[in-house]
Chain A
Amino acid sequence: MKRIEERKKKLTPKHVIFLILEAIVILLLLIAYIFPMFYMISTSLKTMREVNVSPPTLWPEVLQWKNYAEAWQKMNFFHYFKNSVFISVMTIVGQLFVCVPCAYALAKKQFVGRKFFHTLVLFDLIVPSQIIFLSIYLIESKINWINTYQGLIVPFIYSAFSIFFLIQTFKTLPDDVLDAAKLDKCSEIQIIGSIILPMAKPTIITTVMFTFVYKWNDYFWTSILTTDDAVRTLPLAIQNLMPVGNAANEWHTIMAGNLMLFAPMFLLYLLANKSIKQMFVYGGIK
């Protein structure tokens, strides 16, 4: 009896303060993160005049949907969108053919030099490639891969992160199922395709999504490895809307373009919320 009463007493003052703080924190966070989005949407629907007003207004008088059509056209959206899709998809396909067999061999097979190759293949994890980008650019220009699709795809087919992640998962797959497959006269392709991949489905999905998000949002590499628009991807599209420097006052079109830019990612995020978050946690901690 006494203990319960004591607890109840403790509940009131400290807990109330805590709850108030919590509410404040949540409110601040929601403002900090929802408001910019909201403001972006409202700006995208304003007229040029409404945008260039100080102090700025919260909501347009008349919704200017035509801003989106204008942005689409000015940005040449479809062209970049096509490239983004192609490059992201091809990177994922490439990774399936390169990273999966490699992870399979490193996780499940015994051979001379396994540890050595294991370290070699994970080299990229220690050295993030942002640092050696210049050399990669030089290499690609020597083999004339600048401004090509392959230049943007092939280097990323090898992903130390994907391989690392796949190895961790493949290691947990039971060996005797693979033995049974060998006795079932399975070829290596069947073992990888019909046994290992389905058994590791969650990890495969996670890796694919991670690669997709990374490649789709990539601005860095695309700007370094391309100089003309032919193969450029969506993140660079917005440069067509922005004049050089910061004196931009066509914010309405720019915001419209911006929204179109991250709409695909946002959609994906809404659909696959939990798995996306999970994948970043796994990618990080493990």
Chain B
Amino acid sequence: MKQDHPGVFHRLRQLFMKFVNPILRCPYVLIAPAVLLAITFSIIPTLMSIRNSFYKVDYVFHVDTFVGLNNYKTIFHDPTFLLVFKNTLIFTGVTVIFAIPLAVLVAIFLNKNTAIHNFTQSVVFTPHIISWVSIAALWMFLMDPQFGILNAVLTALGFDPLDWMLSEKTSLLSIIIVSIWKSLGYNVLIVTSGLQNIPQDIYESAKLDRSNWFRTFFKITVPMLSPTFVFLVTTTIIGTFSTYDLIKLMTQGGPRNSSNLLVYWIYETGYLQFNVGKAMAGGVILLLFIGTVSVANFTLMNKRAHYQ
């Protein structure tokens, strides 16, 4: 252990090891930055949101008035909020009901390892890595009532053209279509990985039992995919509840709040109208929803770990 030429660098290193390294070795030092940031940008904002929901927040004079459950009472009587909440629920419900079985269907059809299948899967996945801005711009164009190609196709097929985002009746539908379109690739990927995790021998014993396709699917595939389903449902719900980008870019919630969703409403109320307390009340409701779903997800996921 004798060094013949202890250079300057080595002497510095020895000092470092003696004085600095013990500090770095301390686990509290290692986790400190992350913990501080977590507290500042995750925990404190959550607490603030909850706190602000019980106050009337004054931006200008920084004098907050405690109003108890007033904000909550207000929003439950606010037709806009109720509409927004309804929209969000519809959006979530429709998306879950359509997007997930669709993903399963597509995943089953694409679950072969040929060039075409892989290519198709890659293509379907592409929108997932593209930002909402590009997606919104694209679909605004496709759905343009005058020059968009969707209406051109509809007319060509003999249907009436729709006003898509410009009509109260169809704005939510437009959002739903775009949302499902973008998320299909990701959902298919998850289902595919779930399918591939099903051990082949189960299918082989089903074949030996002379089970036909339908029976195999419903009695074997579906149950074995249940953890995947759980994951997809919770992720989709959390995703739909958190939708903001699409609304802001495509419809800004309109026309007349027909496509307004919860997060955008919070943005409008708190950010644009400065009604922070009210916005936070809505935020807390959202928090409760998503929190419950997340916790349910975590618990079900842990159960699944034991099961498998």
- A residues sitting closer than 8 Å to B (CB atoms) are 14, 21-22, 25-26, 29-30, 32-34, 36-37, 39-40, 43, 51-56, 97-99, 101-102, 104-106, 109, 111, 114, 117, 120-121, 123-139, 154-155, 157-158, 160, 163, 185, 187-189, 213, 216-220, 223-224, 235-236, 238, 242, 246, 248-249, 251, 254-255, 258, 261-262, 265-266, 268-269, 273, 276-277, 280-281, 284-285
Give the distance in Å from the alpha carbon of A37 to the alpha carbon of B181 in the complex.
13
Q: Which residues in B have their C-beta under 8 angstroms from that of A154?
A: 37, 41
Question: Quick one: closest B residue to A237, CB to CB?
Answer: B133
Q: What are 6 contact pairs spanning A and B, CB under 8 A?
A: A52-B147, A106-B31, A121-B31, A134-B279, A135-B44, A266-B126
B141-195, CB < 8 A from A: 141-142, 144, 146-149, 152, 155-156, 165-166, 181, 186, 189-190, 193-194
B235-261, CB < 8 A from A: 235, 238, 242, 244-245, 248-249
Contact B137 A254 (CB under 8 A): yes
Contact B42 A117 (CB under 8 A): no
B1-37, CB < 8 A from A: 13, 16-17, 21, 24-25, 27-28, 30-31, 33-35, 37
Beyond the given A242-B137, A248-B144, please list 15 additional residue pairs across the A-B interface where CB-CB is below 8 A: A98-B34, A109-B30, A117-B31, A117-B35, A120-B39, A129-B45, A131-B266, A135-B280, A136-B45, A155-B40, A158-B37, A158-B38, A220-B245, A258-B138, A276-B129
Contact B41 A39 (CB under 8 A): no
Question: Which of A131, A137, A265, A277 meets B242, CB within 8 Å?
Answer: A131
Cβ of B89 under 8 Å from chain A: no
Contact A99 B34 (CB under 8 A): yes
Q: Which residues in A have their C-beta under 8 angstroms from that of B48?
A: 132, 135, 138-139
- B248 CB, nearest partner CB in chain A, Å: 7
Question: Which of A125, A188, A235, A238 meets B25, CB within 8 Å?
Answer: A188
Question: Which of A30, A53, A258 meets B123, CB within 8 Å?
Answer: A30
Give the distance in Å from the alpha carbon of A99 to the alpha carbon of B30 in the complex.
9
Q: Which residues in B have their C-beta under 8 angstroms from that of A117?
A: 31, 35
- A239 CB, nearest partner CB in chain B, Å: 8
Question: Quick one: closest A residue to B131, CB to CB?
Answer: A217
Question: Which of A36, A125, A134 meets B271, CB within 8 Å?
Answer: A134
Question: Quick one: closest A residue to B112, CB to CB?
Answer: A22
Question: Which of B138, B248, B249, B266 meets A36, CB within 8 Å?
Answer: B138
Contact A262 B134 (CB under 8 A): yes
Flag B271-308 by CB within 8 Å of A: 1 or 0 each.
Answer: 10000100110010011001100110010000000000
Cβ of B96 under 8 Å from chain A: no
Contact A251 B190 (CB under 8 A): no
Cβ of B86 under 8 Å from chain A: no
Q: Which residues in B have their C-beta under 8 angstroms from that of A137?
A: 271
Contact A258 B134 (CB under 8 A): yes
Cβ of B132 under 8 Å from chain A: yes
Contact B235 A284 (CB under 8 A): yes
Give the distance in Å from the alpha carbon of A158 to the alpha carbon of B267 in the complex.
23
Given A36-B142, A135-B52, A158-B38, A55-B294 contact (CB < 8 Å): no
- A253 CB, nearest partner CB in chain B, Å: 11
Contact B116 A26 (CB under 8 A): yes
Contact B147 A54 (CB under 8 A): yes
Contact B283 A132 (CB under 8 A): yes
Given A218-B131, A254-B137, A273-B122, A132-B38 contact (CB < 8 Å): no
Contact A139 B123 (CB under 8 A): no
B95-145, CB < 8 A from A: 105-106, 109-110, 116-117, 120, 122-134, 137-142, 144
- B189 CB, nearest partner CB in chain A, Å: 6
Given A54-B147, A99-B34, A281-B126 contact (CB < 8 Å): no
Question: Quick one: closest B residue to A111, CB to CB?
Answer: B27
Contact A135 B46 (CB under 8 A): yes
Give the distance in Å from the alpha carbon of A199 to the alpha carbon of B276 in the complex.
48
Contact B147 A25 (CB under 8 A): no
Cβ of B231 under 8 Å from chain A: yes
Cβ of B263 under 8 Å from chain A: yes
Question: Quick one: closest B residue to A139, CB to CB?
Answer: B45
Cβ of B213 under 8 Å from chain A: yes
Q: Which residues in B have their C-beta under 8 angstroms from that of A163?
A: 34
Cβ of B49 under 8 Å from chain A: yes
Contact A219 B249 (CB under 8 A): yes
Question: Quick one: closest B residue to A224, CB to CB?
Answer: B271
Contact A249 B147 (CB under 8 A): yes
* Interface-centre pick from A29, A218, A251 (highest chain B CB count, 10 A): A29
Q: Which residues in A have their C-beta under 8 angstroms from that of B202?
A: none
Question: Which of A26, A97, A126 meets B109, CB within 8 Å?
Answer: A26
Q: Which residues in A have their C-beta under 8 angstroms from that of B27?
A: 105, 109, 111, 114
Question: Which of B42, B142, B271, B295 meets A160, CB within 8 Å?
Answer: B42
Give the distance in Å from the alpha carbon of A189 to the alpha carbon of B30 in the complex.
11
Q: Which residues in B have their C-beta under 8 angstroms from that of A133?
A: 266-267
Question: Which of A223, A251, A261 meets B248, CB within 8 Å?
Answer: A223
